[in-house]
Chain A
Amino acid sequence: AQSVTQLDSHVSVSEGTPVLLRCNYSSSYSPSLFWYVQHPNKGLQLLLKYTSAATLVKGINGFEAEFKKSETSFHLTKPSAHMSDAAEYFCVVSVPSGGYQKVTFGTGTKLQVIP
């Protein structure tokens, strides 16, 4: 069994300040972890993925995430928020299941960026 907990449903930051979106997971299998972003009326876009090659993962648009096995965490960060970062962010855990992926989504964190 696997689960994902996004600790904050809403995060508000000022433009130019750091962003931290928190995610904790549990899995009985070595998981792959992903962060997706969803802008209004759009589908989910992959930001970055962790697949055991390196614990610090860099993604698109300046985002990165660090996998910490001891803390079962995969928090998403960005040094400086931009207005275009305002969106909803989903943390996802994935394990193999036959010929496809068994995926569990977090409940999402809405990021507000204040000018």
Chain B
Amino acid sequence: ETGVTQTPRHLVMGMTNKKSLKCEQHLGHNAMYWYKQSAKKPLELMFVYSLEERVENNSVPSRFSPECPNSSHLFLHLHTLQPEDSALYLCASSQGVRGRGNQPQHFGDGTRLSIL
């Protein structure tokens, strides 16, 4: 059973739609991450939030807009997406400890996004 819950599990949308992906963690962690996983490509880190502040944004197009209202919730707002944005979007959380990199990330099961 995962302590990170993602909804919806599957999403089909047209290129002009606006939708949001939701992630909730029940682990008391203070860092949250969005990843994109496409077929035959390495896992791509999109955004990192530490203590509800965005600390990393890896050249992600502006049609993806993250939001972290508190340390337990993370959203990814989507608008005007392209077919190449079809992928599995994974959320993760970790307990960030300053100066230590040994805390593992805990992943949700992802949202499978298909753009028509």
Contacts and interface: CB of A to CB of B under 8 A. Distances in A.
B34 interface: no
B31 A101 contact: yes
Most chain A beta carbons < 10 A, residue from B97, B101, B105:
B101
Number of chain B interface residues as a range: 20 to 34
B107 A99 contact: no
Given A43-B2, A43-B108, A43-B110, A96 B42 contact: no
A78 interface: no
Of B6, B31, B112, most buried by chain A (CB within 10 Å of CB) is B31
B51 interface: yes
B102 A49 contact: yes
The prevalent SS among residues of A at the interface is: strand
B104 A49 contact: yes
A105 B101 contact: no
B99 interface: yes
A32 interface: yes
A72 interface: no
A94 B102 contact: yes
Interface in B92-116: 92, 94, 96-110, 112
Nearest to A47: B104
A107 interface: yes
B42 A101 contact: no
Contacts of A51: 102
A100 B94 contact: yes
